[in-house]
Structures are given as C-alpha cells and as structure tokens.
Amino acid sequence: MNPDEMKKTAAKAALEYVESGAVVGVGTGSTINHFINFLGTIKGKIEGAVSSSESSTARLKALNIPVYDLNTVSDLPVYIDGADESNHYLQLIKGGGGALTREKIITAVSKKFVCIADQSKLVDILGKFPLPVEVIPMARSYVAREIVKMGGEPVYRENFITDNGNQILDIHGLEIMESAKLEAQLNNITGVVTNGLFAMKPANVLILGTPEGAKTIYPK
Ligand code: 5RP
C-alpha cells in the first residue's frame, strides 16, 4: 500500500467522528483532500463546514458543502486535519502546506481535534520535519535572527505567501523535547503570527492509515 492509499484509509475512518447536523472543521492537505471527498458522500448529514484554507474551501464548495465564516460558528464539535509529524502525546508539527495559522485557530475553537495521517507521520521526537513559522513579511529577517539565537536553522520558504498574506520560515535542525515550551517561545517573538507546533492543544485522537487498515491512537 502506498502512502496516498494509507492517507485515504485514515480519511475514510474519520467519517465516524462527524456529528449529524453539526458544522465540521476541515483542515488542509492531501490527506484532507481525501476526507473532503468522503465528506461529500454524507453531505446531507451535516450542516456545513469551516475551512482552514482557500484551497479546502474551494474543494468543499465544489461538492456543494456550505462553508461558514468561523465568526458565525460558536459550536464546533470536531476538527479533522492532517499533520506532518505526531509524537506519542499527539503533539504535532503542522504547516507543511502553509495553512498553520487558520488550522490553529480552528483547533482552538473545536471541542475535539481528530488528526488523520499515514503511518509514517508518527515519530518518537518531533523536529525532523522542518517546523513552519508564519511571519509578518517585514519581520522575517528579525525573526530568523532570533530563531538562530535559539539554535534553529530558519529557511525562508521562497515564492510562497500564506492565505493571510504572510511569509513562512521553516526551522531545520531541531530535536523538540519540550514542545509546549518551544511553541510559546516562538509565538513570543515579535512578528511571528504563529508556529506549526500543536503542543499546548494537541490532537485528541490520531487515526493512522496502515496497510492493515486504520489504527486509532490516543495520547500516551
Ligand atoms: C497543512 C498541514 C497539513 O495537514 C500537513 O502538511 C499534512 O499534509 P498532507 O496531508 O498532505 O501530508 O498542516 O498546513
């Protein structure tokens, strides 16, 4: 089974977390694209969706799934999204697709975060995948210098602008032992919009696609 088939397996299993009559939080990425397709098959069951990116919004709308402005939604039982890495506490690195800020906002609003991924995303220590940091463009060099002082190697993601009009620095060379502390430290640098560590509010459930089927993992 290739990684894309495993992503599809995880995405299908996540349908069980979709609540009837509710608005569903929908993330961004290739795993979520499978989920959106599956969601289309049960769209009559839900009220609609909130979306973490313009690309997911376009896919949802193409399937005639209503997409709401998050400001109009006060109750969001579940948010479903992928990840670039998860540790065994279900703390995540996200933002490979650059949608980290909207993803973190929807995570904050949701009651339950169900993460879906192929089995390669589960790791013992976060950081092999470069950690994305969204920055206000004029602050990029300053933020990069501050990250170097912290021991990271920031790399400017060239030719990429987020849906919020900002830029991304990807931090290489980290072995993240204290995820929540690092998440807070990075967010505290002036000019940082947010970073791709989801440690202070980790996922509640991780569904991994494996050749043997979907495997559900809870935080250690
Ligand atoms: C986008 C994300 C994605 O969830 C993450 O990059 C995983 O993507 P994929 O499902 O394509 O492997 O955080 O900002």
pLDDT digits (tens, 9 = 90+) for 157-173: 999 999 999 999 999 99
pLDDT score of 2: 96
Q: Is 31 in the pocket of ligand 1 (CB under 6 A)?
A: yes
Separation in Å, CA 170 to CA 104, 140, 148, 154, 186: 17, 11, 12, 5, 12
Please state the residue numbers annotated as binding site for substrate: 28-31, 81-84, 94-97, 121
CATH no., domain 131-193: 3.30.70.260
- Give the H or E element holding residue 146: helix 140-149
- Quote the ligand 1 centre to 80 CA distance (angstroms): 11
Please state the residue numbers annotated as binding site: 28-31, 81-84, 94-97, 121
pLDDT score of 215: 98
- Quote the ligand 1 centre to 151 CA distance (angstroms): 25
pLDDT score of 199: 98
Q: What is the 3-state secondary structure (H, E, C) of 42-108?
A: CHHHCCEEEECCHHHHHHHHHCCCCECCHHHCCCCCEEEECCCEECCCCCEECCCCCCHHHHHHHHH
Give the mean pLDDT of the chain: 98
Residues of the chain with CATH 3.40.50.1360: 3-124+200-217
- Quote the ligand 1 centre to 162 CA distance (angstroms): 14
Q: pLDDT, tens digit, for every residue of 31-70? A: 999 999 999 999 999 999 999 999 999 999 999 999 999 9
Residues of the chain with CATH 3.30.70.260: 131-193
pLDDT score of 149: 97
Which residues are catalytically annotated? 103
The confidence band for 211, taking pLDDT boundaries of 50, 70 and 90, is very high
| Mean pLDDT on 196-212 | 98
> Against a cut of 0.85, is the pTM above it?
yes
Q: Is 127 in the pocket of ligand 1 (CB under 6 A)?
A: no
- Give the H or E element holding residue 12: helix 3-13
- Say how many Å lie between the first and final Cα of the chain, rounded: 27
CATH no., domain 3-124+200-217: 3.40.50.1360
